[in-house]
Homo-oligomer: A and B are copies of this chain.
Amino acid sequence: EILESPEGLELGGDLREVTIMMSDIRGFTTLSEHLPPQKVVQLLNRYLGRMTEIIIEHDGTIDEFLGDAVLAVFGAPRHADDDAERAVKCAIAMQAAMEEVNQQNSADGLPELDMALALNTGTVVAGNIGSERRAKYGFVGHAMNVTSRIEDATGRKEILISESTLEKLPDHYELGDRRSLSVKGIEESVVVYQLLGASL
Contacts and interface: CB of A to CB of B under 8 A. Distances in A.
Contacts of A44: 127, 129, 140
A129 B13 contact: no
Interface in A133-162: 133-136, 138-142, 144-145
Interface stretch (A32-40, A86-94, A96-104, A170-178): A32-40
Which of A13, A38, A133 has most chain B Cβ within 10 Å? A13
Nearest to A127: B41
Contact of A52 (B12, B33, B134): B134
A140 B141 CA distance: 26
A82 interface: no
A65 to B, nearest CB: 5
A14 interface: yes
Nearest to A143: B29
A140 B13 CA distance: 31
Nearest to A30: B185
Interface residues of A, number: 48
B12 A41 contact: yes
A47 to B, nearest CB: 9
A14 B39 CA distance: 10
Contact of A29 (B40, B67, B185): B185
A66 interface: yes
A14 B134 CA distance: 25
Contacts of A37: 13-15, 125-127
Interface string A52-68: 11001000001011111
Contacts of A128: 41
